[in-house]
Chain A
Amino acid sequence: EIVLTQSPGTVSLSPGDRATLSCRASQSVSSSYLAWYHQRPGQAPRLLIYGASRRATGIPDRFSGSGSGTDFTLTISRLEPEDFAVYYCQHYGSSPTWTFGQGTKVEIK
């Protein structure tokens, strides 16, 4: 089973700052099947990025994803108040089992 490790666990930033979140896989993951989500308190998760770098419908362009192999990154260019949330990476696709990373909390400094 692929293990996804996210870092940092928590990051404290201010609105307008740039956020860089990391997701490292225990073995190579197809870029086609790496997604990012965020989850605000009391809400269901929301898909941000799929295929490592492709924005989901309705996601603003301040969100971008990159990476390949075992190292992936989600970047938020300028944090808006609604971006303070928990972010998860996930692998899916043709493998029999899928997993989520443990999450990175982006909190207001």
Chain B
Amino acid sequence: EVQLVQSGSEVKKPGESLKISCKGSGFIFSSYWISWVRQMPGKGLEWMGRIDPSDSHTSYSPSFQGDVIISTDRSTSTAYLQWSSLKASDTAIYYCARLGLFFGEWRGFDYWGQGTQVTVSS
């Protein structure tokens, strides 16, 4: 069974660093691009960026470029999203999602993690 399991909720202060995780199982992790998606309170979905675990190549939305880093550890089938200095405006739910691939055809984000709530407050 394909699963993406994310790390638990976090409460941080402004200026602190944070790294959240997304562990894949039930599929060949290095074969599927992983994206991160932000959902601020009461708002819509925002694509943040993606990583190709096979070579760690990343691509970021201009809205998030320079603010976050996406990385991966193929040995543990885990993708990460990290901040070096959090702001109150980073308060949101963060989802990881897998870009479906079937015989070379991309098929949208077919599996999603359960979401990680990040709260940044002084």
Contact = CB atoms under 8 A, between A and B. Distances in A.
Interface of A: 1, 32-33, 35, 37, 39, 44-47, 49-51, 54, 56-57, 86, 88, 90, 92-93, 96-103
Given A44-B115, A47-B100, A50-B100, A98 B47 contact: yes
B81 to A, nearest CB: 15
Contacts of A46: 112
Interface in B77-122: 95, 97, 99-100, 105-110, 112-115
A56 B107 contact: yes
Contacts of B99: 92
B30 interface: no
Given A88-B44, A98-B50, A100-B44, A47 B108 contact: yes
Contacts of B37: 45, 100
A96 B59 contact: yes
Contact of A50 (B45, B46, B47, B108): B108
A47 B110 contact: yes
Interface of B: 35, 37, 44-47, 50, 59-62, 95, 97, 99-100, 105-110, 112-115
What are the nearest 3 A-B pairs in CB distance? A35-B108, A50-B108, A44-B112
B107 A45 contact: no
A49 B35 CA distance: 18
Given A44-B113, A46-B112, A90 B47 contact: yes
Q: Which of B45, B47, B100, B106 has the most CB of A within 10 A?
A: B45
A45 B113 CA distance: 9
A96 to B, nearest CB: 5
Contact of A56 (B95, B97, B108, B114): B108
B106 A45 contact: no
